[in-house]
Structure 1
């Protein structure tokens, strides 16, 4: 985001403080602006502060920023955590700063790729109106689409993203392992999974999950489901438990498909 804001001349980036000097210098090089600093005391006064630390360090970083005397009434402090709300920034609020959390709903496995294709990214946002007024314009300037979320449902909101992203990757891994256990080379297994997954996902987005559902449960072929569960149980009991849980959820989804619900 710093890279994009610098490119679009949205913000003038002053300083970057990371866990190590090398990391700070690398970040500044990637962004194309800013100075790497070694401590909170070295940070210059700014209008906006972004805390992009790990979730378990956000509150501590905010407290350190506040203790360093860098905040004043009207300063904007925000973080990008998907799981935590802007309440993590209470130490800034106590000094009169306005706070927010804005979470880009993207996988950041490749920061360069995200920076090159950020336009259209949905971002869950909540916090003080004064902070969101400024940050909303800044995010819109780099192509983001903000969606307001409930502060007290932030963890459930983030769980939805984990289901859609992280656990999908885990399911691909499980499918690859099952194919491999059935005698198919892992590399070939991924090639077999790819078109199936892409087509199923495209149908779900185009038609809705219920209408897109196919397979033995949707057909009412419970004998096949039972045989599959037994085969998975013999191969990997832990995965069989996952299969069973998904079968229950899919049965519910199949019921909605039968009733014409989306």
Structure 2
């Protein structure tokens, strides 16, 4: 932003503390932070030394730019309470960092005359100083009124990132894509490491790292064309053997393996790389494995 502004943050979690620290490094004045948990207060001490800890309403009253970095399900209530308490004012910039919410959740702030922006960093956070360099070049999904687009772009630039514009009605889908790609990737990688460990590997991470990095680069570059492995090749016996050994040695991963194998099979069947008759044989193997998934667990397949 072109001028130094007073910044307040409500919800000094992993995202809020880091973004506030980045704005401080960009020359802005972080005047107050709200955080109830011990972890939040430690983050404030570590990343925002000297910044006073205050109640959310006092933080809101003290700043020109209010960052709301609270959990998604709490956001509407926090905005409503601050607006009802008279803690928000006309002309104040109120920004939330939720991925799935757009501007509608900030309606109580807009009704009192505040300017509103939804700004979500497409990044995973540890809540430590290690996150600060990761903001350079990070994409922020931004939803803003036309009158605030220049301000939002400037704010993203101060954070070291690049803005991508997300329509209000597509905000949830945008966030779902990020969650599916990143959160579920962590689950898959963790399960893969568990399988390798069960197979006797003493350093699964080192085994997987070059493979996963190459697979990710190829997928981002080429999409479905990057798919390799037994599903693409139609190796029914290999897939069946996988399912048998996973059932015996890593049953917690069976459900996700079956689900992702089905998804992979559907993609290569659609683009013609797999013949329907071979796909049917793989599907029968997956159906049989699905019956072995323990009922009542997160791995149950219906």
Is TM more than 0.5 here? yes
TM-score where L is the length of structure 1: 0.86
Matched, 1:222 2:239: no
TM-score where L is the length of structure 2: 0.75
Matched, 1:252 2:266: yes
Q: Map of 1:68-147 to 2, 5 A cutoff?
A: 68-147=85-164
Superposed CA RMSD in Å reads 2.5
Provide the secondary structure at the position in 1 that maps to 2:47: helix
Q: In the TM superposition, what is the alpha-carbon distance from 1:184 to its structure 2 partner? A: 2.9
> Aligned partners of 1:219 and 1:26: how far apart in 2?
49
> Aligned partners of 1:42 and 1:7: how far apart in 2?
20
CA contact (8 A) 1:93 1:99 kept: yes
Equivalent of 1:12 in 24, 29, 42: 29
CA contact (8 A) 1:6 1:32 kept: no
Unaligned stretches of 5+ in structure 2? 1-18, 275-302
> Aligned partners of 2:143 and 2:119: how far apart in 1?
7
CA contact (8 A) 2:198 2:250 kept: no
CA contact (8 A) 1:89 1:99 kept: yes
> Aligned partners of 1:212 and 1:156: how far apart in 2?
24
Provide the secondary structure at the position in 2 that maps to 1:140: helix
Equivalent of 2:70 in 25, 28, 53: 53
CA distance 1:29–1:184, change in 2 (3 Å): closer
**Matched residue count:** 255
User: 2:214 corresponds to which residue?
Assistant: 199
Q: Map of 1:177-188 to 2, 5 A cutoff?
A: 177-185=194-202, 188=203
Q: In the TM superposition, what is the alpha-carbon distance from 1:29 to its structure 2 partner? A: 5.0
User: 1:189 corresponds to which residue?
Assistant: 204
Unaligned stretches of 5+ in structure 1? none
Runs of 4+ in 1 over 6 A off after TM superposition: none
User: 1:212 corresponds to which residue?
Assistant: 226
CA distance 1:228–1:143, change in 2 (3 Å): same
Provide the secondary structure at the position in 2 that maps to 1:102: strand
Please say which of residues 66-75 and 100-109 is displaced more in the overlay.
66-75
